[in-house]
Chains A and B, each alone.
Chain A
């Protein structure tokens, strides 16, 4: 770990991976602290999956929301502590056609892979539109990672639109003609389903970065499956980015 800085209420944990391949936007890593992994109640035990949120040479950044024993331990890591990582893993985003206007839709900590995607697009001279939803303005502090002009929505109305980020997406699709848009989204399942339905209605191609609990991250455990039109698929090796066209409304049901 080379640094750990706040990003809104989240932590941006950066680690050096001098020997690893350069990740692509949407790819992920399995992370575990070298020490103190397995505390009270014998957890965390397994590594945790994180989309890469920043790539600066050998420095990889991960956006951590401390919601359980694993994320809490990762969030408290300090520079100099060891971070065990495996990656880059999975299939990331496919970049849009030259003519398409990329629309990036983030929900909470799901901002992470879209930060790298936005940077990748800018490097090729293209400016994506970014909309991001958060619980509150405190959480929304992370939005600037994705660039200076992120349109916000918050659950409590403390920043930007008072409501859902998908309201913003719907507005964009109405105002800017959905024609030629290419949507990229990452966030909680209900948000992704809403994005999927909107894009289906507007016949806009969408790529969704999904999340599931994973034991391994590289295809061994078959634990992270999601139901697609062609049956269960492992998010770790067939995703985490899937085309919205591969899903119907059954993927969300548990």
Chain B
């Protein structure tokens, strides 16, 4: 973010009012409109809305229990419940189209062809500004494969890039041996932006039984517990590619968001904190604005300046 531009952010061709988005699957705008009413639309907390991941076929998700509170975090194994492509286009997209910010639709396929079918169906919709490719969900069998191997990621991008000119954002998984290499493959394959991190693979043990607590056995960790891991990965990925990065992982405050921008992110996303406070992103945005204007004032006072995102 350059000084003097306020918080307006350009990301892969999207003009955003500020750099705070939501992490996919951490805010249900449709349920939110029912719960919080028109106030949500009037004071929408995110500068772009990233949908919950959709798949070609409807999915009912993993058996409960699906949640486990971890130290400063949350382990989940939700399993991508969604109405499927047809259900999404018929029921959810018309509502999401009424949101006051650009819409990013998150898609996940279990093969290149499934991904292609989703992108072919969703990208032509006028209300869709960009697509996020969920190649990283660790909760679903084989869902991690395409984002864990650079050659898989490259092959996927080569299949999808000719399908649409709309921005394709690759959501990277932290459960890869070399995330930087996957990021380079995504860039080589024509990705427009990268977002990271998704959840870290985790297991919670039920103290009563000594067996895994979650219905699906294992899950993914999010929340402040993963923040420093996310910062390292954002830093590494930003250093190895020229693509804009949406950084996320345990962001609770403007200070946290600033750390991600300093690590090389162009924008940030609030995820698990939305669960604790549905207005969290608005607060993060406000705190970030205050911190950045403070930095600019300090820079004006002192030519040496403070270390700051650029």
Interfacial residues, chain A to chain B (CB-CB below 8 A): 32, 38, 41-47, 84, 86, 89, 212-216, 218-227, 231-232, 234, 237, 254
CB within 8 Å for A232 and B81 given contacts A221-B67, A221-B76: yes
CB within 8 Å for A232 and B28 given contacts A221-B78, A223-B78: no
Q: How far, in angstroms, from A38 to B71 measured CA to CA in the complex?
A: 8
Partner of B36, one of A32, A47, A215, A218: A218
Q: In angstroms, how far is the closest chain B Cβ from the Cβ of A248?
A: 15
Partner of B67, one of A32, A215, A218, A220: A215
Contact status A222-B81, CB under 8 Å: yes
Partner of A254, one of B25, B35, B215: B215
Q: In angstroms, how far is the closest chain A Cβ from the Cβ of B288?
A: 21
Q: In angstroms, how far is the closest chain A Cβ from the Cβ of B228?
A: 14
Q: In angstroms, how far is the closest chain A Cβ from the Cβ of B96?
A: 14
CB within 8 Å for A45 and B78 given contacts A215-B67, A215-B272, A254-B64: no
Q: How far, in angstroms, from A42 to B71 measured CA to CA in the complex?
A: 4
Q: In angstroms, how far is the closest chain A Cβ from the Cβ of B17?
A: 22
Residues of chain B within 8 A of A221, CB atoms compared: 25-26, 67, 76, 78, 275
Contact status A225-B66, CB under 8 Å: yes
Partner of A231, one of B60, B69, B72, B274: B60
Partner of A212, one of B64, B224, B276: B64
Q: How far, in angstroms, from A234 to B36 measured CA to CA in the complex?
A: 17
Contact status B35-A45, CB under 8 Å: no
CB within 8 Å for A215 and B35 given contacts A38-B72, A42-B72, A45-B73: no
Q: How far, in angstroms, from A38 to B28 measured CA to CA in the complex?
A: 26
Contact status B31-A45, CB under 8 Å: no
Residues of chain A within 8 A of B274, CB atoms compared: 216, 220
Interchain residue pairs with CB less than 8 A apart (15) = A45-B72, A47-B275, A84-B277, A218-B32, A220-B28, A220-B278, A221-B25, A221-B78, A222-B25, A223-B66, A223-B67, A223-B78, A224-B64, A225-B81, A254-B65
Partner of B275, one of A38, A43, A89, A216: A216
Q: In angstroms, how far is the closest chain B Cβ from the Cβ of A40?
A: 9
Q: State whether the Cβ of B180 lies closer than 8 Å to any Cβ in chain A.
A: no
CB within 8 Å for A237 and B34 given contacts A213-B65, A219-B28, A220-B28: yes
Contact status B225-A220, CB under 8 Å: no
Contact status B26-A43, CB under 8 Å: no
Instruction: Please report the total number of B residues contacting A with Cβ < 8 Å.
Output: 37
By secondary structure, the A interface counts as loop
Partner of B70, one of A45, A218, A234, A254: A45
Q: State whether the Cβ of B74 lies closer than 8 Å to any Cβ in chain A.
A: yes
Q: State whether the Cβ of B220 lies closer than 8 Å to any Cβ in chain A.
A: no
- Which residues of B in the span 215-233 have a Cβ within 8 Å of any Cβ on A? 215, 223-225
- Which residues of B in the span 1-50 have a Cβ within 8 Å of any Cβ on A? 25-28, 30-32, 34-36
Contact status B31-A237, CB under 8 Å: yes
Contact status A218-B272, CB under 8 Å: no
Q: In angstroms, how far is the closest chain A Cβ from the Cβ of B310?
A: 33
Q: How far, in angstroms, from A215 to B52 measured CA to CA in the complex?
A: 16
Contact status B81-A46, CB under 8 Å: no
CB within 8 Å for A47 and B278 given contacts A42-B72, A254-B215: no
Given A42-B71, A237-B34, 16 additional A-B pairs, CB 8 A: A38-B72, A42-B70, A42-B73, A42-B225, A212-B65, A215-B74, A218-B278, A220-B28, A220-B278, A221-B78, A223-B78, A224-B64, A227-B64, A231-B60, A237-B31, A254-B215
Q: How far, in angstroms, from A204 to B177 measured CA to CA in the complex?
A: 58
